[in-house]
């Protein structure tokens, strides 16, 4: 059903879909209240690709419950998607804490919101799960994964 809808959208001119994947770890997805699993993401990307769409995966680094092991799972999965041709482009950005969101409130309450400038919301001091250096390393490794495919945007 979704494949047929995507095929029709492709026929009508929709050629690219940006998917808010965030992470390829079920624990991180659950912590973000995404209400989906990695299996569902895999299936969606496959169906979209089979319908002729270019898939763009939007990811974030330094999210709740994302430690080094979870970050590596995401890197490995993105590399797999690229190799299989399920994802043509991806972007990964550091977590941004926006005032008024539950995550911003949590970071302030738990003491891991370090940015005093109200217009700079990136997690620059690290999280309880990843240090600032580990977040930077994860971002760098993700960019390197995309280089052979020209996939990093």
pLDDT digits (tens, 9 = 90+) for 48-67: 999 999 999 999 998 889 99
Indicate whether this model's pTM tops 0.85.
Answer: yes
Mean pLDDT of 113-136: 72
Q: How far is CA 132 from CA 56, 100, 124, 127, in A?
A: 26, 23, 6, 8
Mean pLDDT of the chain: 90
Mean pLDDT of 139-150: 94
According to the model, what pLDDT value does residue 92 have? 94
Locus of tokens 């003491």: 111
Residue 143 structure tokens: 């960019």
Q: How far, in Å, CA of 143 to CA of 5, rounded?
A: 32
At 16-36, the pLDDT tens digits run: 999 999 999 999 999 999 999
At 70-123, the pLDDT tens digits run: 999 999 999 999 999 999 999 998 888 888 888 889 888 988 877 665 554 555
């Amino acid at each position: 059903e979704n494949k047929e809808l995507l095929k029709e959208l492709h026929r009508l001119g929709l050629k690219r879909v940006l998917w808010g994947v965030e992470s390829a770890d079920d624990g991180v997805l659950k912590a973000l209240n995404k209400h989906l699993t990695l299996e569902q993401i895999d299936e969606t990307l496959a169906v979209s690709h089979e319908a002729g769409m270019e898939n763009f995966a939007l990811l974030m680094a330094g999210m709740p419950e994302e430690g080094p092991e979870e970050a590596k799972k995401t890197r490995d999965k993105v590399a797999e998607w690229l190799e299989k041709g399920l994802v043509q482009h991806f972007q990964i950005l550091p977590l941004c804490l926006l005032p008024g969101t539950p995550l911003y409130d949590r970071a302030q309450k738990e003491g891991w919101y370090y940015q005093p400038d109200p217009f700079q919301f990136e997690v620059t001091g690290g999280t309880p799960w990843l240090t600032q250096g580990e977040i930077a390393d994860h971002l760098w490794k993700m960019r390197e994964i995309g280089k052979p495919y020209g996939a990093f945007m």
